[in-house]
Amino acid sequence: MIFRLALASLAARALTVAMTIIAIALSVALFLGVEKVRTGAKASFADTISGTDLIVGARSGSVQLLLYSVFRIGNATNNLTWKSYQDIAARTEVDWIVPISLGDSHRQFRVMGTTPAFFDHYKYRSGKSLAMRDGAIISDLFDAVIGADVATTLGYNIGDPIVVAHGLASFIKHEDQPFRVSGILEKTGTPVDRTVIVSVQAIEAIHVDWQTGAQRPGNSTPADAIRQMELEPQAITAALVGVKSRLKVFGLQRSINEYTQEPLLAILPGVALQELWQIVGIAETALIGVSIMVVVTALIGMMATIFSSLNERRREMAIFRAMGARPRVVLGLLVLEAVLMAALGAILGLALLYLGLFVGQPLIDSAFGLWLPIEAPTLRELWAMFGVVVSGAIVSMVPALRAYRMSLADGMMVRI
């Protein structure tokens, strides 16, 4: 009986009720959307590098090593000698190892020297491999493969020349040894998108005529002559390591950290990523706080709507009372109306979220490299929706209690 009365009452005020439901739906969609983006961003952050068991570099901090080797942020305090790199590569536990050499740049994008094995072993998003959008990987000494953001920002195509600058934000350029774009990578949503990738031998090649950070005057070795040289690097910035058995990871890590030839540090990427997320996770808290405030605002708006309708419904409440309805029935009627509005708003908000995900998922992935999976609502999201319904019932208690206390005479009295 009271349920039918609540539905009839809501139908009688269809426009106002619809606007309230839409406001709740939009706030719920925003809240759940922020939750999806938060978890998606965290997953993408954690999936920046996967399939790599250890990252090795000069001894510093684990977060610092992760930042400059994976995210291309900051600089190494020291380098890893090529001899130490070869010693690690020769260990029986090592399945594969990829060198990384950083230091130069191209128009604010980092230049990374590595080997073709990088394209085979670098994984992201839980094991996804790098893919070419156009062209091919490095085959010539002066070939360069560029990330999607580099190509888009600078408008590069296959065959375009690239002149590398010495160091970061430097006006000193290796103009005598230009590179050629041989390949453009697909968008990954990782720092690879903002990287110019060349061979470690190419890093040595462009520094053949350089000494103490400057080119020796009058020296410019022809490219053909450089190709005939032994261009083994003296040192690299870091190395990515994969082991044959996960059971040997900690033993290898301990051995590298206790390496006697030079001070080295081996870190587990997953552990270091968690440490880094804790540092930048304040943005996560801020997003949750903003979305919660939006939901609270919508619920307060619903309470205000119920309050404003009470004056118009004085006579309706009085008639209910005159027909024998007890005050608690009036209270329950208003609370039930609020619960129905909150529930309909929560369900509509969930539907809007999945509609937005269906439309925006490929666009967000291609533009930002952020993958937002379309999955069934999580237990956390269902609890959030239930919390909205319960909160709707709670905030409706304030106007409901006022209606509960209204006397029969108050409703029948004509106000002028």
Q: Which domain holds residue 351?
A: 2-45+282-412
User: Which pTM does this prediction carry?
Assistant: 0.72
On the question of pLDDT at 272 being above 80, the answer is: yes
Where would I find the H helices in 192-268?
A: 200-205, 223-227, 249-257
**Alpha-carbon gap, residue 57 to 398, rounded angstroms:** 62
Which range has the worst mean pLDDT, 162-166, 173-177, 284-288, 347-351? Answer: 284-288
The two tokens of residue 34 are 């922020």
CA 160 to chain centroid: 32
Mean pLDDT of 106-112: 91
Query: What is the predicted pLDDT for the residue at 99?
Result: 96
Q: Does 119 lie in the same domain as 108? A: yes
Q: Using CA of residue 210, residue 214, residue 220, residue 222, what is the dihedral sign?
A: positive
- Higher pLDDT, residue 198 or 213: 198
Residue 336 lies in a domain: yes
Q: Does 22 lie in the same domain as 36? A: yes
Q: Does 227 lie in the same domain as 127? A: yes
Q: Does 95 lie in the same domain as 120? A: no
Residue 275 lies in a domain: no
Q: Does 73 lie in the same domain as 10? A: no
Query: What is the predicted pLDDT for the residue at 90?
Result: 94
Residue 258 lies in a domain: yes
